[in-house]
Amino acid sequence: MIVLGIETSCDETGVALYNTTPWEEGKPAFQGILGQGLHSQIAMHKDYGGVVPELASRDHIRRVLPLLEQSLAQSGLKLADIDAVAFTQGPGLAGALLVGSAFAKSLAQGLNLPSIGVHHLEGHLLSPLLGQTAPQFPFIALLVSGGHTQLMRVSGIGQYELLGETLDDAAGEAFDKTAKLLGLDYPGGAAISKLAEKGQPGIFDLPKPMLHSGDLDFSFSGLKTAVLNQVKKFAEKKIVDSSEVAQFQADLARSFVDSIVTVLVSKAEKALKQTGCKQLVLAGGVGANLQLRNALNDQAKKNDFEVYYPPLELCTDNGVMIAFAGALRMLAKNNGSTTSGAFDIKPRWDLQSNNLV
Ligand code: KG4
Ligand code: ZN
């Protein structure tokens, strides 16, 4: 079965074609990726310091068809070869979701194909299965994106149990807000990570929120406030020497990254212990963070568990993960696929409510 995937939940337009045959034959899942196209709107939103929803929607409209043509050309397939259309139904920006939903449903209806609405986080959760070495069910997923920070127990396709989540800012949001405080462009996650490499550890005593809370929840808004206080303190000193300013920023970025990584790693290990799982999966945009990856790898060696990552280019939003999650759902019974033409999006959507029964 060949499934077309459409992602338009936020600021990336992603389109991909996925063939389920390798998966069904027990071969590595990544062999099913036939073609893909991705356009990031980051350059467009940068000047505004964040995503402007209306601009995002309009840009998705402009990009989605050329990206489909690109994916088809890359795969050597025609529209008539597609068996089902998967699209991100939520959560995300309403207008942006509507573009993907309208496009996917119209195409499905025109081609007389079933369509399936995919939960964006399910796409992220399952994307490590597309790595060179893939985890086996059950595993724990640490899902760290711009909008979510969650620990999930994943027992199978459509079998998700929320173990803990952030009470306020998401990890990616904390990265982006801290980046803004340090004068870096949106979305600053990757830039902070780079800056932190030049910083000295332990210069600033930043909080490690909820490290000892005893549960699997997170909170990152206090960390951002602590960074703001340090920035204000430094500004009061009126230092103009550019190398001193640069060192301050790098040291602060380093302490910030160290704090956030310590909390994420510690809670992920706690989730492994609590559930008896031996496999951890890192997913979502912050999963591209090298300090977090290194820290998880170190702990995995020490404490005898395995960590799996999606291919680096599939950590942030893309169409492949939606095509893949949609494809695996299509193979399951009672998967929620539909041929209805309603553009039913779910800007707010709890992943567990979409579990397969
Ligand atoms: O999963 P994603 O592409 O979009 C959402 O579903 O939210 O995640 C985007 C987030 C942004 O907050 C971005 O700053 C962060 O992922 N990010 C990173 C890195 N690369 C992307 N954060 C830390 N380190 C990185 N290398
Ligand atoms: Zn995402």
Ligand 1: which of 126, 286, 313, 317 to mutate, judged by most atoms within 8 Å of the beta carbon? 286
Q: Is residue 20 located within the same domain as residue 96?
A: yes
User: Could you say which ligand is closest to the alpha carbon of residue 144?
Assistant: 1
Q: Is residue 32 located within the same domain as residue 144?
A: no
pTM: 0.94
Q: Is residue 179 located within the same domain as residue 77?
A: no
Residue 146 Cα to ligand 1 middle (Å): 5
Residue 323: partners with Cβ closer than 8 Å, 6 or more residues away: 3, 4, 5, 16, 17, 18, 86
Q: How far apart are CA 289 and CA 190, in angstroms?
A: 7
Angle at 74 between CA 72 and CA 77, to 5 degrees: 40
Angle between helix 242-275 and 189-197 (nearest 10): 110
- What is the domain count for the chain? 2
Of ligand 1's atoms, which has the minimum distance to the CA of residue 11? 4
What pLDDT sits at residue 344?
87
Of ligand 1's atoms, which has the minimum distance to the CA of residue 147? 7
Q: Is residue 304 located within the same domain as residue 320?
A: no
Residue 172 Cα to ligand 1 middle (Å): 5
Burial of 138 (0-12, 13-18, 19+ CB in 10 A): middle
**108: domain range?**
2-127+314-354
Q: Residue 83 sits in a domain of what CATH number?
A: 3.30.420.40
Q: Is residue 268 located within the same domain as residue 294?
A: yes
Residue 341 main-chain phi, psi, to 5 deg:
-95, 5
Q: Is residue 151 located within the same domain as residue 119?
A: no
Q: Is residue 67 located within the same domain as residue 168?
A: no
Q: Is residue 6 located within the same domain as residue 105?
A: yes
> Residues near ligand 1 with C-beta < 6 Å?
10, 145-147, 172, 175-176, 187-190, 193, 284-286, 288-289, 316-317
User: Could you say which ligand is closest to the alpha carbon of residue 194?
Assistant: 1
pLDDT tens-digit profile, the chain (357 residues):
999 999 999 999 999 999 999 999 999 999 999 999 999 999 999 999 999 999 999 999 999 999 999 999 999 999 999 999 999 999 999 999 999 999 999 999 999 999 999 999 999 999 999 999 999 999 999 999 999 999 999 999 999 999 999 999 999 999 999 999 999 998 999 999 999 999 999 999 999 999 999 999 999 999 999 999 999 999 999 999 999 999 999 999 999 999 999 999 999 999 999 999 999 999 999 999 999 999 999 999 999 999 999 999 999 999 999 999 999 999 997 777 887 778 889 999 999 999 998
Q: Is residue 250 located within the same domain as residue 340?
A: no
Q: Is residue 318 located within the same domain as residue 292?
A: no
Q: How far apart are CA 203 and CA 154, in angstroms?
A: 38
Q: Is residue 145 located within the same domain as residue 108?
A: no
Q: Is residue 300 located within the same domain as residue 319?
A: no
Residue 140 Cα to ligand 1 middle (Å): 20
